[in-house]
Amino acid sequence: MQALSTASSAAGREKSADLSPLQAVIFDWAGTLVDFGSLAPTQIFVEAFATFGIHITLAQARGPMGLSKWDHIRQLLQDESIAAQWLEKFGRAPANEDVDAIYARFMPMQIAKVGEFSAPIEGAVQTLQWLRANGLKVGSCSGYPREVLNQLLPQAEAAGVKPDYVVAGDELEAGGRPGPFMALANVLALGIGDVRACVKVDDTVPGIEEGLNAGMWTVGLSLSGNEVGYSVQEFAKADAADVEARVEVAEAKLKKAGAHYVVRSVADLPEVLQAIAADMRAGRKPA
């Protein structure tokens, strides 16, 4: 199987590091901590739309990833080809009540299957241990609704992934990504004194924008997440040139969104956090 993490990152987890003045790292879930390739939500969107006689591709399903699931469905229905299918089948353009209907179909399907995709991404458990050993708090947020997270969290915890705080995509009246609200909820819950001492880690554009809007450092994950979209099995068999081509596209997209750093997976995070801490000690701030 191809290597997911770098040797230098693995070495970085084995020793303590000077991460001052950083205070916390706030993670996304699918494609970041668990569910390599962010497969659980993607496939269920395809299946939920199919129950209405609407065909969407996996690529289309991945497009709005990072948004709350209701907003994700609404965004999909605004896709020209999907909206055209809806008009042909139902004789009218899709409306918010149609978003509600698809969401109601999506939710039980996602709840039933999310546990199948709860395996930690390689290096996630060790990275969380390293963060705590070096005095940082660990927050998290997700586009998943709370009902879905309630199925995912116990299984992730049993496998060694348990942040100090979790907020779901449907829990805040102010809304979800790309707004800063879930990231800032972590700041409040964890008692962080300065948003600039936080790092938001995510595999999607809305997740990077969330961190930037909250005034945080941001780290994008290319290979493990939505933008590349390999399953573990596909990655193991993939041609190295194809992997690098996909990673290059993903990196460019996340950097264009404003990510301060982009790495392949959570396994590569320790080295980047040391660089961010050094930036802060030199007086630099997240733009």
Give 258's Cβ-side CA count (13 Å radius).
Answer: 18
> Rounded to two decimals, what is the model's pTM?
0.88
Domain boundary among 115, 142, 157: 115
Domain boundary among 78, 95, 115: 115
* Active site (annotated) includes residue 18: no
Query: Which H helix or E strand runs over 202?
Result: strand 198-202
* Active site (annotated) includes residue 256: no
Residues 137 and 162 reside in one and the same domain: yes
Q: Where residue 101 sits, what CATH number does that domain have?
A: 1.10.150.240
Residues 164 and 213 reside in one and the same domain: yes
Q: Where residue 16 sits, what CATH number does that domain have?
A: 3.40.50.1000
Beta carbons within 10 angstroms of residue 52's beta carbon: 16
Residues 263 and 146 reside in one and the same domain: yes
pLDDT at 182: 97
Instruction: Give the domain range for residue 78.
Output: 40-115
pLDDT at 7: 38
Residues 22 and 44 reside in one and the same domain: no
Residues 44 and 22 reside in one and the same domain: no
Beta carbons within 10 angstroms of residue 171's beta carbon: 17
Q: Are 191 and 154 in contact (CB under 8 A)?
A: no
30/37 Cα distance (integer angstroms): 8
181/172 Cα distance (integer angstroms): 7
Read off the pLDDT of residues 182-192 as tens digits, 9 standing for 90 and up: 999 999 999 99
* Domains in the chain, number: 2
Residues 163 and 259 reside in one and the same domain: yes
Question: Does residue 286 lie within any of the structural domains?
Answer: no
Domain boundary among 115, 136, 156: 115
Which of the following is catalytic: 15, 18, 28, 203?
28
Read off the pLDDT of residues 169-181 as tens digits, 9 standing for 90 and up: 899 999 999 999 9
Which of the following is catalytic: 35, 69, 71, 202?
69
Q: Are 165 and 141 in contact (CB under 8 A)?
A: no
